[in-house]
Amino acid sequence: MQFFLQQCLIGITNGALVALVALGYTMVYGIIRLINFAHGDLIMLGACLALTLVSTLGLAAAGPAAAWGGVAALVLLCGLFCGGLNVAVDRIVYRPLRSAPKLAPLVSAIGVSFIFMNVGLFWLGPADRSFPELLPATNLLPGDGLQFTAKDLLVLVVVVPLMAGLSFLVKSTRLGKAMRAVSQDPVAAALVGIDVDRVIAATFFVGGFLGGAASVIYGLYINTIGFQMGFQNGLYAFTAAVLGGIGSIPGAVVGGLVIGLVRALSSAYVGERWTGAIVFAILIVILVFRPEGLLGRGTREKV
Amino acid sequence: MNVRIRAPWLLSACLLVLAGCRPADPTLVKIVSSLPRTGSAKQQSDTLVRGIRMAIEEAEGRVGPFRVEYLDLDDSTAAAGQWTSEAEAANARRALQDPDVVAYIGTFNSGAAKVSMPILNLGDLLMVSPANTAVGLTKPGLGAPGEPGVYRPTGRLNYTRVVPADDLQGPLSADWAKARGVKRVYILDDNEVYGKGIADLFDERCHEIGIEVVGHDSIDAKAQEFKSLMASVKAAHPDLVYFGGTTQSKGGQLAKDMASAGIGAILMVPDGCREQVFIDSAGAANLEGRCFVTFGGLPPEKLTGKGKEFVERYRARYGELPEAYAVYGYEAACVALHAIRETGSKDRRAIADTALAIHDFDGALGRWGFDANGDTTMRTLTVSAVRNGKFEFEEILDAADLEPAPTP
Amino acid sequence: MMRHDRERRDAPAAVTPPGRIGAFLRERWDLVALAVLAVAPLVVPALGGALGGQVTTLFIYCILALGLNVMVGYTGLVHLGIAAFFGIGAYLCAILTVPMYPFQMRFATATAASVVVTALIGLALGAPTLRLRGDYLAIVTLGFGEVVKVTLRNLEQITGGMKGLNPVPPPGAGLKVGGLDLGLAFAIDPRWFYYLALAALAAVVVAMRRLEHSRLGRAWVAVREDELAASAMGISAIRVKLSAFAMSSAVAGLAGCLYAASLSTTADPNAYDFNRSIMVLCAVILGGLGSIPGTLLGVALLVGFDTVLAPWADSAIQQWNINPSGSSLLSFSGWRLAIFGLALVLVMRYRPEGLVPSRRVAAELHEAHP
């Protein structure tokens, strides 16, 4: 029983991280129907920056209080970096293709993903790099039972407020309302005076910011980054977004948690080497029987 | 530009340009190496190549009546980030087609050797591997059915290796564990030829000598983290965790996750992890005093005689101590040069036969020879521990110590 | 929209080639290319060596890309998992021919069987996913690719896991024709595989041409342009899409069989991953969607870049000692990803129909930008 609970705990923590990345995918898709293949690699670049900052600021040698403060600073800085980079890419690559057929931005996103990967290759080198352990690895729970360390706590402490903040942004602010409007019908939104391009840029920024936060958490939680990490993580996060219903924010969260749990439990009970196949098999099955995802809304195609 | 008209002409023009065919030069011999030169194995192959170059430089680029040229071929691609069958096959064919090539030093990965061995065998080209350890490449009856015959379509031998195979490393590791009082092991492997091979050998030996194998799983070498796996490992309460794999197949990450899961067991890894990058990627603190690495042969700091001189010259030349594999590259090149010199001609078959007939070679690795299968007669294994962020010599194991399996 | 007057040939719009030779080259480019390639091994000695193997692989990728072109180019369905079918074809052919299994069929029979089974698997994947919109279909094919890769890797008893299945006997193993041992000839001289692959490629090109101008081909295009309108006109979108799936899988399977035979191993399952699928997709898109010469050109450029230009540039850099420290920044292949990515971005921005497009696709893509 304890083993099962431990795996669930691991699954939920992992899933929260996946959900954070999935939010980036879902936001961009929600607003311009683009699968942003480059999101995973954007996060990789954020992690590169985080590693560089940690080395230059010497955070590894600092005490615990400074460590938490440093983490907050990292989240902010990497968030801004990734948000800004995302906006730049939108402006340069995707904006000219707003009215182009769907294939063009999709393939461009793949191209951007390759470019990011190459930058990461130069930044990190071909081998994986170790991320310093800023937080102690001691178990926070008493006894020798369930393992829950400061790192696991970090994931939840960062992810939950960010998600809450995002919900607030989308539901209760003007920008959020504008985002929802553009997502429903860009032409109508323009007609009522919304600056569509700016709203889209803001969406990219928010998605990128979340990605930057995710990159810091990734580095601190997994402690290894490499120039190819974007693809694998992006794939899982993207699956989570689709599973939950792409375009739906709560869907991304649910999808992320489900994927995290599936990965942990399948690794525990089926075998580590089947995990990848199981996750994608589930994705295929869900898409076949419920294409709009768990929480998505079905759309009718008008003639 | 009307690309369509030009396309066939472009293609033919390129083909002609690349056609470049030179006639054979009777005073020149070439030694090629086929190693993974891009991707994460680059550091390993760098030290191998340095060893090879040093051997050729010491011979002053001459062997017998010939000039020697060395070609450093890559069997990996930037696309894959590791060795690929296509690149390895292409290197083998290229070596065969060039009449000046008389020796092929390669490969680093046992899986790559499987691809090029049959090709080179058809051309009777001497192949000296500095690093392959999969048993099926040379030893009948130990690998998959049909090995090693499938790698020798002509029935003749052309493949040799200067490093002891895993039929030594795997079982001796198990014996060592038993001697330390280990009773339960959890085995992991990276599902590759080398990693799975040695993990399976370790597994078999554990069963023979009475160590309980509480789990044996393969990992996905592309996965990013192994927290759930480590939770499963922890729940099985092993005394020792054995990972058959390399640094590139996530050995470092496993060690990290093992430490953060709070597993107290010791970690044992084979020679694929014996490099500084492994310690760096795992985090020295995570491995301190609890990680043991096996290596066929002797580590650089324990070499004597010619080996010690090699280490000194390497240090003088490159400003750092050689990594574990450098001396194997050097020795492989010395074997090739010796074979060419003793044969005195460019006859590939004769050169291969001369190499295979080596039985008392005084080299950097000690005094050794090749047996009937092309394997080295060296049977020593070193165990090193990771302490203070470095590999520290722990003990030497000899195959003579291999206890016979208890009769049932 | 009636475009039949412009649609007769895949000829570009406003080109005035010099004279009659130019016109002949433009219209019968395929014959010219075939003649050149058929004669090349007799004229270019390097094709008897390593280059021959590389060009053979190039032909095999061309076949694979033509298969993908059926889905992406003609029918407009984004397929991100074509490498899975490539792998399935390779493994099936290997299982049916390697000495480890009792089948040990002849190469021709094994290929025929593999192609059929791969097509059936394509149908099995296609059938439940037909209702999905474009993006979702792309994801499903992506997921399928991953599932296949992991399955091939884990079912070691059947597929040999990471070791792959080898050795795959060459075509004609054990056949003696006029005193010549065919199997040995294939194994030693790369020109045999060269001609085999070239013949297969020529056959596939002819078949594709036929399909393009057939009812089925037009139905594919109709579904691509406007599925609702097509079904309103009586075209069963389901049948049409399924046939695209089946055809594309079959051709990919054929490419796989040739690949396994030419390498004499299936290689490890990681060779059939998303990277491979993306590479083929990029080749089709860059070269020209829905156009046979475009697809072939795209593959030639991409594969040529990877297997010819990049290693040559790297060894040139090595020889001229520009990069003594071995850093990625100064090596040519270190920039490979960025060059690919930039090419994709630029092509999509300025010439989304590709280098040598079919006129229909070009017109479709530029409808939005008058």
pLDDT score of B15:
47
pLDDT of C203 higher than 90: yes
pLDDT of A33 higher than 90: no
pLDDT of B37 higher than 90: no
C284 touches C74 (CB < 8 A) = no
Does residue B53 belong to the interface with chain C, where contact is any CB pair within 8 Å? Answer: no
B209 touches B403 (CB < 8 A) = yes
pLDDT of C310 higher than 80: no
pLDDT of C181 higher than 80: no
pLDDT of A264 higher than 60: yes
pLDDT (tens digit per residue) in B209-267: 999 999 999 888 888 889 899 999 999 999 999 999 988 888 989 999 998 888 889 99
A100: number of Cβ within 10 Å: 18
List chain C residues with CB under 8 Å of A102: 134-135
Most confident range, picked from A299-303, C118-122, C338-342: C118-122
Least confident of B3-12, C144-153, C217-226: B3-12
Name the pLDDT band for B404 (thresholds 50, 70, 90). low
* Predicted-assembly ipTM surpassing the 0.90 threshold: no
Interchain CB distance below 8 Å, B217 and A263: no
CATH architecture of A2-131+144-289: Orthogonal Bundle (1.10)
CATH architecture of B166-296+381-401: 3-Layer(aba) Sandwich (3.40)
pLDDT score of C251:
97
CATH architecture of B23-164+304-377: 3-Layer(aba) Sandwich (3.40)
Name the pLDDT band for B350 (thresholds 50, 70, 90). very high
pLDDT of C100 higher than 60: yes
pLDDT score of A153:
86
pLDDT score of B230:
92
pLDDT score of C10:
52
pLDDT score of C172:
76
Which of A14, A126, A271 is nearest residue B42 as measured by Cβ atoms?
Answer: A126
Name the pLDDT band for B401 (thresholds 50, 70, 90). low
Which of A151, A229, A271 is nearest residue B217 as measured by Cβ atoms?
Answer: A271
Interchain CB distance below 8 Å, A108 and C345: yes
- For chain A, what is the mean pLDDT? 88
pLDDT score of A144:
66
- For chain C, what is the mean pLDDT? 83
pLDDT score of A301:
41
pLDDT of C3 higher than 60: no
Segment (H or E) for C200: helix C190-212
Name the pLDDT band for B9 (thresholds 50, 70, 90). very low
A215 touches A43 (CB < 8 A) = yes
Q: What is the pTM of this model?
A: 0.84
Give the pair of three-digit tokens for residue A107: 């393939």
A19 touches A255 (CB < 8 A) = yes
pLDDT (tens digit per residue) in B126-179: 999 999 988 888 988 887 777 888 788 788 899 999 988 888 888 999 999 999
Measured CA to CA in angstroms, residue C193 lies from A20, B5, B121, C304 at distances of 50, 27, 19, 18
Name the pLDDT band for B10 (thresholds 50, 70, 90). very low
pLDDT of C204 higher than 80: yes
- CA A157 to chain C, closest CA, distance in angstroms equals 32
- CA A147 to chain C, closest CA, distance in angstroms equals 30
Domain extent listing, chain B: 23-164+304-377, 166-296+381-401
- CA C240 to chain B, closest CA, distance in angstroms equals 30
Q: In what order do the strands lie in the sheet with B126-129?
A: B62-63, B66-74, B28-35, B101-105, B126-129, B159-161
pLDDT of C105 higher than 80: yes
pLDDT (tens digit per residue) in A275-284: 889 989 988 8
Domain extent listing, chain A: 2-131+144-289
Which of C143, C153, C341 is nearest residue A280 as measured by Cβ atoms?
Answer: C143
pLDDT score of B5:
42
pLDDT score of B13:
45
- Residue B26: is the preceding peptide bond cis (ω within 30°)? no
Segment (H or E) for C185: helix C182-188
pLDDT of C32 higher than 60: yes
pLDDT of C234 higher than 90: no
Name the pLDDT band for A43 (thresholds 50, 70, 90). very high
Least confident of A136-140, A228-232, C109-113: A136-140
Name the pLDDT band for B79 (thresholds 50, 70, 90). low
Is the C-alpha dihedral spanning A282, A283, A286, A287 positive or negative?
negative
Name the pLDDT band for C369 (thresholds 50, 70, 90). low
Interchain CB distance below 8 Å, B114 and C264: no
Least confident of A11-20, B371-380, C3-12, C283-292: C3-12
B135 touches B143 (CB < 8 A) = yes
Alpha-carbon gap, residue A185 to C98, rounded angstroms:
58
Interchain CB distance below 8 Å, A224 and B253: yes
% chain C with pLDDT above 70:
89
Overall average pLDDT of the C217-246 stretch? 88
* Strand B266-269, strand B240-244: pairing: parallel
Alpha-carbon gap, residue C254 to C252, rounded angstroms:
5
List chain C residues with CB under 8 Å of B3: 297, 355-356
Interchain CB distance below 8 Å, C341 and A111: yes
Measured CA to CA in angstroms, residue C267 lies from A184, A286, B19, B144, C50 at distances of 48, 32, 28, 16, 18
Q: Chain C window 8-37: which residues touch B at a Cβ cutoff of 8 Å?
A: 12, 15, 17, 22, 25-26, 29, 32-33, 36-37
Is the C-alpha dihedral spanning A94, A97, A99, A102 positive or negative?
negative
pLDDT score of C26:
67
pLDDT of C107 higher than 80: yes
pLDDT (tens digit per residue) in A200-237: 999 999 999 999 999 999 998 988 998 889 988 888 99
List chain A residues with CB under 8 Å of B191: 273
pLDDT score of B403:
53
- CA A295 to chain B, closest CA, distance in angstroms equals 27
Segment (H or E) for B126: strand B126-129
DSSP string, B14-52: HHHHTT--PPPPTTEEEEEEEE--SSTTHHHHHHHHHHH
List chain B residues with CB under 8 Å of C264: 118
pLDDT of C14 higher than 50: no
Give the pair of three-digit tokens for residue C328: 């990625």
Interchain CB distance below 8 Å, C17 and B14: no
pLDDT of B23 higher than 70: no
pLDDT of B18 higher than 50: no
- How many CA within 13 A on the CB side of residue C313? 15
Which of A33, A101, A273 is nearest residue C154 as measured by Cβ atoms?
Answer: A273
Q: In what order do the strands lie in the sheet with B390-398?
A: B212-218, B184-189, B240-244, B266-269, B291-296, B380-387, B390-398
Is the C-alpha dihedral spanning C33, C39, C40, C43 positive or negative?
negative
Alpha helices in B210-292 (DSSP H): 227-235, 251-260, 276-282, 284-287
pLDDT of B104 higher than 90: yes
- CA A145 to chain C, closest CA, distance in angstroms equals 33
Name chain C's partners: 3 or more CB pairs within 8 A.
A, B
C255 touches C64 (CB < 8 A) = yes
Q: Chain A window 233-292: which residues touch B at a Cβ cutoff of 8 Å?
A: 233, 263-265, 267-268, 271-273, 275-276
Which of B79, B91, B122 is nearest residue C275 as measured by Cβ atoms?
Answer: B79
pLDDT of C211 higher than 50: yes
Query: Which amino acid is it at C89?
Result: G
Does residue C336 belong to the interface with chain A, where contact is any CB pair within 8 Å? Answer: yes
pLDDT score of A259:
93
Overall average pLDDT of the B293-315 stretch? 86
Overall average pLDDT of the A107-112 stretch? 92
Measured CA to CA in angstroms, residue B295 lies from B108, B250, B253, C87 at distances of 15, 18, 21, 36
Q: Is B361 helix (H, G, I), strand (E, B) or coil?
A: strand
- CA B280 to chain A, closest CA, distance in angstroms equals 7
Name the pLDDT band for C189 (thresholds 50, 70, 90). confident
Angle at A140 between CA A136 and CA A145, to 5 degrees: 120
pLDDT of C27 higher than 80: no
List chain B residues with CB under 8 Å of A7: 228, 231-232
Alpha-carbon gap, residue C70 to A107, rounded angstroms:
18
% chain C with pLDDT above 90:
27
pLDDT score of B406:
46
pLDDT of A154 higher than 70: yes
Alpha-carbon gap, residue C105 to C94, rounded angstroms:
10
- For chain B, what is the mean pLDDT? 85
Overall average pLDDT of the C253-269 stretch? 88
Q: Specify the higher pLDDT residue, C122 or C328.
A: C122
